[in-house]
Structure 1
Amino acid sequence: MTTRYVAGISIPDSAMARAATELMRATQSGLMFDAACRTFVFASLIGQGRELRYEPDLLYISALFLRIGVTTLYRHSQQRFEVDSADAAAQFLRGYGRSRDDIALVWDAIALHTTPGIPSHKPALTALLAAAVDTDLLGTHCQALCPGVLACVLNAFPREAGFKIKFLHTLAEGQLHRRQSTYGTINADVLEFHDHHLNAGGFCERLLASTWPY
């Protein structure tokens, strides 16, 4: 199979990566799957710019499993969705015989991606995943991207019309049954927005006000 490149980034094509791709395509909406793929590409581009070392396959798995916790598979869970997502990735990696260290790296990267102020002080995988999420949603690290890169990424993994509202709705729907798990996180803001009580300066307001990429 010919290796696929997006904005100069090689999309992992190992047996593990292909299995994860098929699983996530079958589990998540196209909107969330494309967001996960954009996150991987942005993380890789930022990693190149910072000259950080990481295993692409692990970064890819981290990005794909990022929000599986808000799918219908976890509609009875009372954990934070980030923990459900991290646990799912860990279970998947165990099935491929990955080491405890690799699994711990991926678990931390996924579990901490919505926790401001911590990921940047963690190993490359965690730092890059969080930075890429901010880039995909808010354009926070867009200065690290070369001209034309955004168009390439969006062409490969489009943001469908109404992405921001649909994205927030998906996050909220996956957490309405476990409101207590969102206390002290940006997810509390997501649920308040869903209930039409938007906090000034909150995550949802920042996302909707962002002009990235349009």
Structure 2
Amino acid sequence: MTSELPTRVVAGVTVPDTPLLTKALEFAREHSTDSTYNHINRSLLLGTIISDKVPTTKDRDREAHAIAAVLHDLGFPIGHPPHSDVISKDTRFEVDGAHAARAFLKREADLQQWDKHRLQLVWDAIALHTIGSVVFHKEPEVQACAYGIWADFQGPDRVPGGLLTWDEYNAVVKEFPRLGLMKGVKDNMLHLCKTKPETTYDNTVGEWGDRYLQNEGYSREGKLTQYLLETCDLDEKEPK
């Protein structure tokens, strides 16, 4: 099915060119800053470059990969229009993004082509994209999405196996400049720590709060899983 998709070439990379992907890009553009929008495009291109070289991800659902890549940061709060219904008050940003992407597909996609499995692939790719110890053990589409996202942050030298060259990377960045991506990421992470800290304690977002917001009252003290488990020791309450 995916081999018959219409395609286009961007920065030397062949990617899907379907009406649904066009709508996804428009939706992402509406909910993204300039730097985030360029990041999601680079993530798709870099993920395609890498995944096309990996035997286990080469034969993947390319449209599902593309949709997940371009919608993966919908949960970033900065850049959303006023009164956005994408950003929740009590859910971590990756899950906000996954929910929003699934709702978009249910609204815009042909659900005869987008069954529960394809919807779940996109949801998983987005919800798990920050958890490297999990995401790279998932389905090819989920891995492909993560390859591109991680490569955009780490650069070619940290992509194992020489799967991304500097020439390939630079061509993508020339097409979609970084525009101070890391400042935007930091601003989003700190905004999450300030506005819904309970969603940050058990994940990487909280690391930003630990480093930059301790003087502003942010703390994960007593909130980490180890603390919660040790203070609820059911072994001590076992009936005798």
Per the normalisation by structure 2, the TM-score is 0.74
Cα drift, residue 193 of structure 1? 3.5
CA distance in 1, matches of 2:212, 2:36: 18
1:132 pairs with 2:127: no
Matched, 1:23 2:27: yes
Q: Of residues 49, 53, 56 in structure 2, which corresponds to 1:45?
A: 49
CA contact (8 A) 1:70 1:175 kept: no
Residue 181 of structure 2 aligns with an amino acid whose one-letter code is F
Q: Which amino acid aligns with 2:207?
A: D
**Alpha-carbon offset, residue 3 of structure 1:** 5.3
Q: Per the alignment, in what secondary structure is the counterpart of residue 114 of structure 1?
A: coil
- In terms of Rg, which structure is larger? 2
TM-score (norm 1): 0.83
Residue 164 of structure 1 aligns with an amino acid whose one-letter code is: M
Deviations 1:24-56 (A, max 9, x none): 112111100110011111111111110322122
SS of the equivalent of 2:132 reads coil
8 Å CA contact 1:47–1:128 kept in 2: the answer is: yes
**Count of residues in Structure 1 that have an aligned counterpart in Structure 2:** 195
Q: Does 1:187 align with 2:205?
A: yes
Question: 4+ runs of 1 displaced by more than 4 Å?
Answer: none
User: Partner residue of 1:116?
Assistant: 132
Q: 1:121 to 1:148 in 2, by over 3 A?
A: same
8 A Cα contact 2:88 2:96, kept in partner: no
Asked if the contact 1:6–1:152 (Cα under 8 Å) also holds between the matched residues in 2, the reply is no
- The equivalent position to 1:61 in structure 2, one of 37, 55, 67, is 67
1:49 match: secondary structure: coil
Residue 76 of structure 1 and its aligned partner are, at CA, apart by: 4.4
Task: State the alpha-carbon separation in 1 of the partners of residues 99 and 87 from structure 2.
Answer: 15
Provide the rounded CA distance (Å) in 2 between the counterparts of 1:196 and 1:169: 15
Instruction: Work out which of the residue numbers 170, 189, 195 in structure 2 matches 1:151.
Output: 170
SS at match of 2:133: coil
Gaps of 5+ in 2: 1-5, 216-240
Structure 1 residue runs without a partner (length 5+) = 198-214
Quote the offset at 1:190 in angstroms.
2.2
- Distance in 2, matches of 1:56 and 1:105, equals 11
Match for 2:90: what amino acid? Q
